[in-house]
């Protein structure tokens, strides 16, 4: 099973957002492509509250290392499918990568409930989503990051993934089966 781990030395590279930061959900949705992948409970909540169910959403029931409010947890619903995967903090497991791939491939909408942490899932999502789509994730204390999976964003996501500890070739092979 290919598991990638984020080494301490690479953490700073993840602080720089992969795209522009939005604080207005309507403005973000006006600029977003289709399909949309939402990474994080708060991002997913804001998209759902704005009337847009992402084709794929990843949540872990936490924000800023604390449990999300009951209101947010209760509002995250209405998906065609719900899948639960284990993914420890600061890692990307093969199960999570396969769930992202399958969620994008299945049609309809999929909610991936992560037992652990979903924070790094934006990277594989940028690699797996069609070029017409968008990945949205939260930037702590700043807003929502909108990533267009163009060549530059994919190159950066691939580079970060390859610099993680573990079998990046195997991880990329799981995603390439989209």
Query: Is residue 178 one of the residues assigned to a domain?
Result: no
pTM of the model: 0.92
Query: Is residue 86 one of the residues assigned to a domain?
Result: yes
What pLDDT, on the 0 to 100 scale, is given for residue 15? Answer: 86
Query: Is residue 65 one of the residues assigned to a domain?
Result: yes
Range of 93's domain? Answer: 21-171
Inter-CA distances, 172 with 3, 6, 137, Å:
11, 16, 21
Q: For the chain, what's the residue count?
A: 178
Query: Is residue 149 one of the residues assigned to a domain?
Result: yes
Which run of H or of E encompasses 176? helix 168-176
What pLDDT, on the 0 to 100 scale, is given for residue 65? Answer: 64
> Per the structure, how many domains does the chain have?
1
What pLDDT, on the 0 to 100 scale, is given for residue 177? Answer: 53
Sequential pLDDT tens for the chain (178 residues): 558 999 999 988 888 899 999 999 999 999 999 999 999 999 999 999 999 999 999 998 777 666 677 777 777 888 999 999 999 999 999 999 999 999 999 889 999 999 999 989 999 999 999 999 999 999 988 999 999 999 999 999 999 999 999 999 999 999 875 4
Query: Is residue 1 one of the residues assigned to a domain?
Result: no
Query: Is residue 11 one of the residues assigned to a domain?
Result: no
SS3 content of the chain, % helix, strand, coil (to 5): 40, 25, 35
What pLDDT, on the 0 to 100 scale, is given for residue 142? Answer: 93
Query: Is residue 137 one of the residues assigned to a domain?
Result: yes
Convert 16-42 to b/e letters by CB count within 10 Å (16 or more is b). ebbbeebeebeebbeebbebbbbbbbb
């Amino acid at each position: 099973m290919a598991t990638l781990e984020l080494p301490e030395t690479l953490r700073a590279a993840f602080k720089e957002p992969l795209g522009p930061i939005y604080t207005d959900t309507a403005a973000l949705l006006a600029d977003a492509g289709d399909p949309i992948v939402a990474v994080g409970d708060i991002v997913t909540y804001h998209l759902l509250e704005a009337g847009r169910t992402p084709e794929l959403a990843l949540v872990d029931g936490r924000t800023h290392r604390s449990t999300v409010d009951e209101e947010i947890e209760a509002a995250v619903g209405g998906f065609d499918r719900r899948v639960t995967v284990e993914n420890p903090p600061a890692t990307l497991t093969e199960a999570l990568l396969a769930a992202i791939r399958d969620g994008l491939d299945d049609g309809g909408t999929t909610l991936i409930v992560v037992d652990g942490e979903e924070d790094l899932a934006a990277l594989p999502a940028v690699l797996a989503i069609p070029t017409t789509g968008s990945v949205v994730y939260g930037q702590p204390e700043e807003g929502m990051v909108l990533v267009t999976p163009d060549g530059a964003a994919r190159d950066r996501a691939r580079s970060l993934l390859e610099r993680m500890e573990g079998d990046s070739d195997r991880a990329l092979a799981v995603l390439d089966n989209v």
